[in-house]
A and B are shown apart, each in its own frame.
Chain A
Amino acid sequence: MNFSGIKDRLKHKTVGIAGCGGLGSNCAVALARVGVGRLILADFDVVDETNLNRQYFFYHQIGEKKVQSLSDNIKLINPATEIKVCDIHLDEQNIVDIYKNCDVIVEAFDKAEMKQMIIETLLEQLPQTPLVIGLGMAGWGDSNSIHCRKSDNLYICGDETNEISDDRPPLAPRVGIVANMQANTVLEILLKK
């Protein structure tokens, strides 16, 4: 399939991005670049200077809402992308409503309890929608430990081992690898259908 054919297939697809930090911002940008037609971005946070070591924001955007900044950045790359922004704290009550019409959903939270919340909620309430999660990407080096595997409709990307800590911060290269691996998995799912 050439790129024009790929774009034709992707332009009517909707992908949900749950969290717009290191995973979500980089994954959303990759999906917009290849021509995914519609993205639903949700996050409650604002851009902080400490985010710039890995997240797809710019220095002048510090203090802005992440969903708005990310939407602006995506529009600069691919203005054809339709973007819905949800400036909201996702929880088990609102998440199904926000993402129910998505072809694929990307989990891009930082906290383990939020990852658990979205997996359990969607497994019960949107079991037909593929969910692509990022799990384990702290630190640096050891690229070969990062992998992707499938468990029913759940796709797991990451090393599944390295949790963030003071000595093992999340950094652009490994977070970027996992975010792009999630985007690559989304493409695989969308282009298979």
Chain B
Amino acid sequence: MNITLNNRPESFDYDSLTISEILKLKKFTFKMMVIKINGLLIRKPQYDETRVNEGDDLQILHLISGG
């Protein structure tokens, strides 16, 4: 499937993946994140069951301390 990940085109050799699977494939090990699919917020407890499909716009924002 082809999706948009953080405003860039991204391809995976699967028809559909959960958010947790994408995080593993991309080796994203961030502790604090905000994740949206097509503008809709997905909270952490839903990462295992929420699927990303062809054409989806996935935003993964990595939060770091400082201010």
Query: Footprint of B on A, CB under 8 Å?
Result: 19, 21-24, 108-113, 115-116, 119-120, 123-124, 134-138, 151-152, 154, 156, 158, 160-164, 170, 175
Contacts and interface: CB of A to CB of B under 8 A. Distances in A.
A175 B63 CA distance: 16
Nearest to A149: B7
14 contacts: A21-B67, A24-B67, A108-B67, A109-B67, A111-B65, A112-B64, A115-B32, A119-B63, A120-B41, A134-B67, A138-B66, A160-B64, A163-B65, A170-B67
Given A124-B41, A152-B39, A163 B64 contact: yes
Contacts, number: 67
Interface size on B, as a range, is: 10 to 19
Given A120-B41, A151-B61, A163 B32 contact: no
Given A120-B41, A120-B43, A152-B39, A22 B67 contact: yes
Contacts of B67: 19, 21-24, 108-110, 134, 137, 170, 175
The 10 A-B pairs with the shortest beta carbon distances in the complex, nearest first, are: A163-B64, A110-B67, A112-B32, A112-B63, A164-B66, A23-B67, A112-B65, A115-B63, A138-B66, A123-B41
A116 B34 contact: yes
Contacts of B33: 116
B34 A119 contact: yes
Contacts of A134: 66-67
B52 to A, nearest CB: 17
Given A120-B41, A123-B41, A152-B39, A135 B64 contact: yes
Contacts of A120: 34, 41, 43
B43, B63, B66: residue with the most chain A Cβ atoms closer than 10 Å: B66
B24 to A, nearest CB: 20
A50 B41 CA distance: 36
Given A112-B31, A163-B64, 10 more contacts: A110-B67, A112-B65, A113-B63, A116-B32, A119-B34, A123-B41, A135-B61, A135-B63, A136-B66, A162-B64
Nearest to A139: B66
